[in-house]
Amino acid sequence: MKKHNHQQAKRPTTDKRSNHQAKRPAVSYIIKRNGAYWPSKEMKKIANISDPKIYEKAAKDPIKFWGKLAEEGISWEKKWDKTYVEKLPYFEWFKGGKLNFCINCVDRHLDQPNKTALIWIPEPINEKPIKITYGELHNKVSKFANVLKQNGIEKGDVVSIYLPMVPQALIAMLACTRIGAIHSVVFSAFSADALKTRIIDGKAKILITSDGYYRKGKPEDLLKKAKKAAKRTTVKKIIVVSRIGKKVRGRKFLNFDEELEKADDYCEPEMMKSEDTMFLLYTSGTTGKPKGVIHDTGGYATQAYWTCKWNFDLHPEDVMWCTADIGWITGHTYAMYGPLLTGATTLIYEGGPTFPNPGRWWKIIQDYKVNVFYTAPTAIRLFMKENPSWIKKHDLSSLKILGSVGEPIDKKSWMWYLEKIGGSRCPIIDTWWQTETGGTVINTLPGIGPFVPTISGKSFPGTEHVIVNEKGNPVKKGESGFLAQKSPFAPGMLHGVHNNHKKYVDTYWKKFKTMYDTSDGAHIENNLIRITGRTDDVMKVAGHRLATAEVENAIHDNKKVGDCAVVPMPDKMKGQVPIAFVVLKKSKPSEKLEKKLIKYVDKKIGPTARPKKIFFVDDLPKTRSGKIMRRILRALLINEKPEGLSTLINPDSVEKIKTIINQKIPTSNK
């Protein structure tokens, strides 16, 4: 049991490597065998976990397994009384245990105070990047925790954070965890209305925001939206990070850095119960109305630590770059918290992927010797359109692990990622998880394998997922069905929906009662799980269940296709028919190309999957995390008002697509 000592906190010492970080050669971490990729001897040698028996060991007693991991990976002030308590639809991990999350991310690494915790890259190329050590982070977090306390924030209060990817975002989040406040991070590209909804639901007392940020070389005003959102809410103070130099006036406003400078440099950490709420994160439902997903402290910490350590083979010497925004769960767990829990270095970047040129990301990897790179298929497809010379200019030999997140990745993108970015030597960890699961729950472990295009892998040790039919019964081998998680549920899982018990039950437990409903479809291939996409992205064409991801993969195979989304449209004869929205790389749309793509789907899958129509569009509606909002496309097809536009990074794409649809399909036929 690792009980925290305020003066001499130590991180867990389970590293299998020593000083391999310096000038790592372009090692091949994978080998190809029998049509799949497997970890090489070099990978197995350094891997945090390489014994496939871990799955069998965990399955024998998952509760005991997670209890052991919690003891080994997390520093506790008091050990728990019961490892797991389940009274569905609720469950608790490490009940009675006490800890502080900030201690686990910062204080326990202070035996190396000069080690870099965070690297921040601003978008403007004339600005200097910032490195923050664990010692400096401890100082800044303690100071800002005192700022929050001085402004009336107490244990259990909600603090709204509406910040871009700047260091102050991490400082603010950790400061909340230090004093037991609940943080509610809202994506900085969301509208004022979207922010207001979340402030009101959480009854936030303080809003932390910025005067702006940079996007594609231009300053974006954020404060205007923040002011509008905070009006007539519970917000008493607005703490503003000065990023673009706007003047801020008014009693309600405080300057982040000025307040930080004045505050005391130590704040005693608040010991929390394991099951105490640590943060809220709002996720869109099918209605477009956000749900405040509740995550606890001890369970989330345990899952974030071990999934980061095992899935990305993360060692304290490593630099991890997760490109997700802080407004999403991926940004929480793998851009911010996971790397710090393991004592590694996390890198965050403020700007767009292709500014000032398509080589920006690859230069960052080269300059900062990034070892683990975790991004979305949408970003991968964006770079596939660019000239490969932008990649060849840079040395990517520091890379060890590549990760994919956000949606199922098609084979063509997977292979491009492997070959162009990974140099055909880095494993791709295709992770499946959700805002609700807190951390990854299905993927392949880099020291175990195999790494197969379009296949996520196995349930993370200590969890179990099954493929079932609508009644909750297991489907036959090889058949597609609904993905569900069995008890005991992963420690990082959600612990309810804020202020909405009914929503929690209806969304996640109504369908299968004793199993968590993921709302995703999947099937098993060679004992590995392949995610087929949201079950609301599954079509029933002439009585046949067909995943939209299957059709998308086929269309993606064409070299002219840059991006693609397939959604079902009602059809009097067949019930539903597939409709494809295609973004081309450089080719011009034509009837000939449309017929060619349709014919290829026929050949690849069969006539059942044949798209009724292909719309060539400039862009697809997406969230910042890269998720394509297919429900918006479905709404446009049937002439309904689309919900959830506030979650989009490119809302202007919707009107353009609507115009294209109306030109091709008369309103009377919708």
Q: What are the residue boundaries of the structural domains of the chain, listed by start? A: 30-521, 542-669
At residue 411, does pLDDT exceed 60?
yes
Q: How far apart are the first and last CA of the chain?
A: 63
Distance in angstroms (rounded) separating the CA atoms of residues 590 and 250: 57
**Better-predicted residue by pLDDT, 644 or 388:** 388
Residue linked to tokens 């804020």: 498
CB atoms within 10 A of CB 453: 19
Average pLDDT of span 152-181: 97
Average pLDDT of span 516-532: 92
**Neighbouring residues of 500: CB distance < 8 A, sequence distance ≥ 6:** 291, 292
Task: Tokens for 12, please give them.
Answer: 């867990």
pLDDT band, very low/low/confident/very high, at 545 (cuts 50, 70, 90): low
Question: According to the model, what pLDDT value does residue 19 have?
Answer: 41
Print burial letters for 36-54: b (CB count within 10 Å at least 16), e (below 16). Answer: bbbbbebbbebbbbbeeeb
The CATH code of the domain at 542-669 is 3.30.300.30
In one-letter notation, the amino acid at residue 553 is N
pLDDT band, very low/low/confident/very high, at 625 (cuts 50, 70, 90): low
Distance in angstroms (rounded) separating the CA atoms of residues 317 and 372: 11
Residue linked to tokens 């090692």: 27
Distance in angstroms (rounded) separating the CA atoms of residues 484 and 467: 6
**Better-predicted residue by pLDDT, 525 or 288:** 525
Distance in angstroms (rounded) separating the CA atoms of residues 218 and 400: 34
The CATH code of the domain at 30-521 is 3.40.50.12780
What does the pLDDT look like over 645-659, one tens digit per residue? 777 888 889 999 999
Task: Tokens for 577, please give them.
Answer: 């028919």
Strands 98-99 and 272-273: antiparallel
What does the pLDDT look like over 339-368, one tens digit per residue? 999 999 999 999 989 999 999 999 999 999
Task: Tokens for 583, please give them.
Answer: 């973004």
Claim: this prediction has a pTM higher than 0.95: no
Average pLDDT of span 389-414: 93
Would you say the C-alpha torsion 578, 581, 586, 587 has a positive or negative sign? positive
Distance in angstroms (rounded) separating the CA atoms of residues 499 and 182: 14
Average pLDDT of span 410-419: 94
At residue 140, does pLDDT exceed 60?
yes
At residue 131, does pLDDT exceed 80?
yes
**Better-predicted residue by pLDDT, 14 or 129:** 129
CB 241 within 8 Å of CB 211: yes
Query: Which uninterrupted H or E stretch holds 403?
Result: strand 401-404
CA distances from 212 to 175, 225, 228, 245 (A): 22, 10, 14, 8
